[in-house]
Structure 1
Amino acid sequence: MQSNLFTAVLLPLALAVVMLGMGLSLVPEDFRRITRYPKAVAIGTVCQVLLLPLIGALITWVVPMQPAIAVGLIVLAVCPGGPSSNLITYLAKGDVALSVTLTALSSLITVFTIPIFANLALQHFLGQNAAIALPIGPTMLQIFLITLLPTAIGMAIREKFPNTARRLEKSMSRLAIGLLVLIIGLLLIREGSKLPGFIVQVGVGVLLLNLGAMLAGFFAGKLFRLPLAQQICIAIEVGIQNGTLAIAITAGLLNNPDMAVPAAVYSLLMYLTGFGAILYGRRIASGRMS
């Protein structure tokens, strides 16, 4: 993969559009849910912010991979849940309110944790030979500009012009989906011949990260006796990462597109495992209703 205007401009733009669309669906009440579901929010956040990076580190230790690929996997693991997790939670009959809350909270926290964990990964896997670095201050600012700021703008529009926000939300959702499809399509066109090699390099590690995170989230919810809808939500929220943000960081901020390979493969695989989660959640929900 090669860095160019595509990774430097289109990816951050697509992410900002996705986050703006999510902001249009949020109201301040969504954030007050943190006080209503303290145990579920705490479990989901700990799994997302602490347990998931540990799972990612364990995978890089167990599965042989190139240093740049290992850094990319760690960056992916420390990213927050993406907007796709909210949609998958909804389709899987999970707790959507909790999903939105966890996405918003993890997005806030990871503005600070991504630069720290990414720098640790760079130092560990690339050492003194690393020709790149992730400055914490500027990186926090850029992540803020492409994630939190668009979300805040969307919320402000929703607060001031609710009817306009509802209309825009549908259009923005379609635009966001279109941009993401375009990104994946361009990646496939540009890197199609290399894709089998990418999958060989990272397929096992990415699949282990995705499934391991989902199972960890699900069993954490079960261990603390959360309602089934919240167990499903935490499994999806912890298991579905913001792959677009990971690509924007690795190929854009770090200017090392090789590190973006795990996130690129993950962005395709997560919809397959997400579909499995949807089938499971709907089957369980229909069984309980019958």
Structure 2
Amino acid sequence: MSLGQELAPHLPFLRRYARALTGSQAHGDAFVRATLEAIVAQPDEFPRDVDPRLGLYKTFHAIWSTANIEEGEEPSMSPTGAEGIAHARLSRITPLSRQALLLTSLEGFSSEDTAYLINASPKDVDSLVAEALEEIERQTLADVLIIEDEPIIAMDIETIVRDLGHNVTGVAVTRDEAVAQARQSPPGLVLADIQLADDSSGIDAVKDILAEFSVPVIFITAFPERLLTGTRPEPTFLITKPFQRSTVKAAIAQALFFDAATVPAG
């Protein structure tokens, strides 16, 4: 099997990670393209002593780290909009903390594998994750609309959201209900399933909401690779079903991290 064939199944998830890290599909996908270009240019430099997925993320991190303007700063891809909004927060949260949080909670890497990826110890990784969660949660609070037709899943998500200190404005099970609830109580964050109770689409519900409100959205699906091809406008934040509570917490924290409505005063 060629190196390209080995890496292909992992590319959708690298896109997810890169988008979550940068807060942008465009910038995240640009880093992924740069990673692939580096691998094609120097295939002999690809780490062959580890799992291909680990090697892919390791190469990505090498690209990410060399994109810094100055040592200790976030990589720059001409940040505007959401990334510009997040600049004040980035000064409070170290890049390693955010990377550790996303690698463990969103991507499911162990502390040991994450330590390898960011050149730290497993103990350091655990401390970085705790630090990132504490800091981001302290800075970001929002009204949340949940669009989910499975009652048990909806209850679980609602519990997670409330435990983080956020307010749940409603739980919608259809497209029409979601739009109506958004109009009644404009949300600061939307968590949306893809398939809804009346066979309507959560994607369509979100499109309707975004036509009227500027709000960050996290999609929830059992088939994330279908929305992570890198060939069309796609979600920046996406959770895979079945999900871990820590995954939802990390995605919420990161989505709000880049949102204008939650920028702390001062």
What TM-score bracket applies, with the shorter chain setting the length? under 0.3
TM-score, reference length from structure 1: 0.22
- The structure whose residues are more often strand, as a share, is 2
TM-score, reference length from structure 2: 0.24
